[in-house]
Amino acid sequence: MSHKRGRQRRLLVINPNTTSSITERVQQAIHAESPPDVWTEAVTARFGAPYIGDPCGYAVAAHATLESWARYSSQHTLGPDGIVIACFGDPGLLALRELANCPVTGLAEAALAQAADFGRCAILTGGQAWKPMLERLLPDLAHADRVCGIETVELSGAQIHADPQAAEAVLLQACRRIEQRWPVDSLILGGAGLAGMAARLQDRLQLKLIDSVAAAAHQVWLAPPSLGRGAPPWLLQPSPRNS
């Protein structure tokens, strides 16, 4: 699946979960935010969780991210010029940055980089399990010291994705709680399932909202350099069958 907006730069979007409708929505959002010379292409993980919402799904998603990239690379003579990992936990980011020969970012890293331009920030995402997961992730990311707090709603990212209109009231209430609770300059709406929600809510809030998917479309080109070591031969080897 691809969007052609000029052929000078190829941007690969990797969805580490197995839900193709999320892939499509994220790709559309990144396509809309990308410069005219960027051609976006997206792939969906072949295995793993339908939506990443717990440590088990997150652990498998890192493998799925690397496998998706390796399979794409094996099928294309020309590799991408940039890669976005379409999950707010950035599964496999550091490993893929070692293997790929182009800039790589994830939704969390990209959103934090954009939020740093405004000052202090908070994070809002779907699914209560994500709070401790993000608390473990943040120390590995730049600008984590700007984060004043993490808030979650009971709705999962998958539920928000499935019915964004119904999720608006829940997210708006959470945003207003954050405005009152922390002295922040921006609020990150984190997660592939929340793509587009910042635009829906911004007019009703004074706090600057940051869409993590839109941020990735811009920040990928500013990501740290990758090492380009290439995929290890075993990454695409089929699993041995039980005898």
- CATH annotation of 2-107+220-231: 3.40.50.12500
Q: pLDDT grade, residue 237 (50/70/90)?
A: confident
pTM for the whole structure:
0.93
Question: Spelled out in words, what is the top-level CATH class assigned to the domain 108-213?
Answer: alpha beta
Question: What is the sign of the dihedral through the CA atoms of 222, 69, 29 and 112?
Answer: negative
> 60-73, pLDDT tens digit by residue?
999 999 999 999 99
Number of Cβ within a 10 Å radius of residue 128: 13
Mean pLDDT of 125-137: 96
Look at residue 242 and tell me whether its pLDDT is greater than 50. Answer: no
Q: 208-211 and 186-190: which strand pairing? A: parallel
Mean pLDDT of 34-41: 95
Number of Cβ within a 10 Å radius of residue 192: 29
The predicted pLDDT at position 46 comes to: 97
CA angle 70, 213, 148 (to 5 degrees): 115
Q: Please answer whether residues 88 and 191 qualify as being in contact, where contact means their C-beta atoms are separated by less than 8 angstroms.
A: yes
Q: pLDDT grade, residue 8 (50/70/90)?
A: confident
> 179-231, pLDDT tens digit by residue?
999 999 999 999 999 999 999 999 999 999 999 999 999 999 999 999 999 99
Q: Which residue has the higher pLDDT, 79 or 189?
A: 189
- Please tell me whether residue 88 adopts helix, strand or coil conformation: coil
Q: What is the dihedral angle through the alpha carbons of 196, 5, 113, 66, rounded to the nearest 10 degrees?
A: 90
Q: Please answer whether residues 46 and 64 qualify as being in contact, where contact means their C-beta atoms are separated by less than 8 angstroms.
A: yes
Looking at the chain, the domain(s) classified CATH 3.40.50.12500 span 2-107+220-231, 108-213
